[in-house]
Structure 1
Amino acid sequence: MPEDYAADHPLFGGAISSTFPLRFQDVSNIRQVPDHQEVFVDPARDESLIFELLDLKLDVADTGSATWFLQDLATEQEAEGTMLIEQSGVIEADGLCFRNIPAVITSAVGQMAISKGRQGREAQNIVRVYLANLRLKEVGTDVLITAYEPVVINPLSETASTVGAGLAVPAIQSGCMPMSEVFKLALSSFKVNDWSLFGAA
């Protein structure tokens, strides 16, 4: 089966599922991942896809919530030169309902310079970040779907040894689904199969 074949992946023990290409490997097979996260990477392209469950941020408005989380992420990763490329309005997700209340979704795309792991600022890569915030208010949860796509790989970054330094090769040239499409697919196919994951009766 081709690596870029998209399949349904069970997340959080199957309580949630989402569809994305098989080239993304489950990081928990390699290292420990926090319980509230599911992390998948394509090591050949240094692209990653992260699903995260957080307590609902009551003080963050729905409008622009994805942008807020994107900024929060940039701060957390000590990113530099963060730039917002686009953001969506608030969309109601009719297919993602709890007690007939649909989730609300916003998304944002940004670009930032971030270092891998414990590498310093001199090894920063320029990365495009796609982030969606699915607000499951009835169960007090903010779901984040974040996709990272390297744009420029720093020669000092540890990524350079596997992916190569300089401008990242566009996915389409490698016969891969572009990260923007991977992100859209993962978001549009996101499904809660068991609401008891959130402690909902």
Structure 2
Amino acid sequence: MPGDECSERLLFGGAISSAFPMRFQDLSSIREVPDHQEVFADSSRDESLFFELLDLKNDVSDSESAIWFLQDLANEQDAKGSLSGSLQPADLMFKDLPAVITTVVGRMAVSKGRQGREAQNVVRVYLANLRLKAVGTDVLIIAYEPILINALSETSLTVGAGLAVPAAQSELLPVSEVFKFAIVSFKVNDWNLFGVVDHTP
């Protein structure tokens, strides 16, 4: 979309990079973000994009990993709603290290901050799990897209209550496309991040 081009962004001190629109601002300049996460958001639309590095969950099967992480996310956020979605497994290679990626799309009712269930917004959640087994790491890429903003939610003060305006109507890249670009452009620049010595000249 015009004016919403994806640009390469450096993550985790430049050890990883991914491309997505500049309208997604780094939240670490606004609030504290854990070292294993990178969080970006377009606050004017309440859309957000997370990158998270976790220890590999060896007891979770590759084919079910994205769904498992989405369910875990819902439990963590005390969210309710439908977690069923499309699962698209594929095998990838990062350098000479084998990787597996699965994606899932779900729908959740979630509250902002400390707000209760009466202020829950309905959001679509896109989750990708990149399994970098050789370095014992599960990478999560998660995108949140609001569907319905609750009038009681603090989000309604900036975005407005009711059905969210589709990104395409504002000549912006839809979250589904932002999510895809972030995955396709995901790149490890320094394997030392995972404790692996990179001998690439």
What's the TM-score, normalizing by structure 1?
A: 0.95
Distance in 1 of aligned mates of 2:11 and 2:3: 19
Which of these residues, 120, 137, 140, is aligned with residue 141 of structure 1? 137
Distance in 2 of aligned mates of 1:108 and 1:5: 24
Distance in 2 of aligned mates of 1:3 and 1:78: 36
Q: Give 1:92's aligned residue.
A: 91
Q: 5+ residue gaps in structure 1? A: none
**Where do residues 7-18 of structure 1 align in structure 2 (5 Å cutoff)?**
7-18=7-18
Work out whether residues 3 and 23 of structure 1, in 8 Å CA contact, stay in contact via their aligned partners in 2.
Answer: no
Confirm or deny that 1:39 pairs with 2:39. yes
- Find runs of 4+ consecutive structure 1 residues off by over 2 angstroms: none
Q: 5+ residue gaps in structure 2? A: none
**Where do residues 22-171 of structure 1 align in structure 2 (5 Å cutoff)?**
22-89=22-89, 91-94=90-93, 96-97=94-95, 100-171=96-167
Distance in 1 of aligned mates of 2:64 and 2:98: 18
Residues 100-142 of structure 1, C-alpha deviations (whole Å, 9 max, x = no match) = 2321100000001000111000000000000000000010000
Q: Give 2:174's aligned residue.
A: 178
The alpha carbon displacement at 1:6 in A equals: 1.2
The alpha carbon displacement at 1:83 in A equals: 2.9
Residues 37-59 of structure 1, C-alpha deviations (whole Å, 9 max, x = no match) = 00000001000000000000010
Work out whether residues 70 and 83 of structure 2, in 8 Å CA contact, stay in contact via their aligned partners in 1.
Answer: no
How many corresponding residue pairs?
A: 196
**SS of residue in 1 equivalent to 2:48:** strand
Distance in 1 of aligned mates of 2:86 and 2:12: 30
Distance in 2 of aligned mates of 1:193 and 1:3: 27
Distance in 2 of aligned mates of 1:41 and 1:3: 17
What's the TM-score, normalizing by structure 2?
A: 0.95
Q: CA RMSD in A?
A: 1.0
Distance in 2 of aligned mates of 1:160 and 1:118: 15
Q: Give 1:21's aligned residue.
A: 21
- Return the letter of the residue paired with 2:5: Y
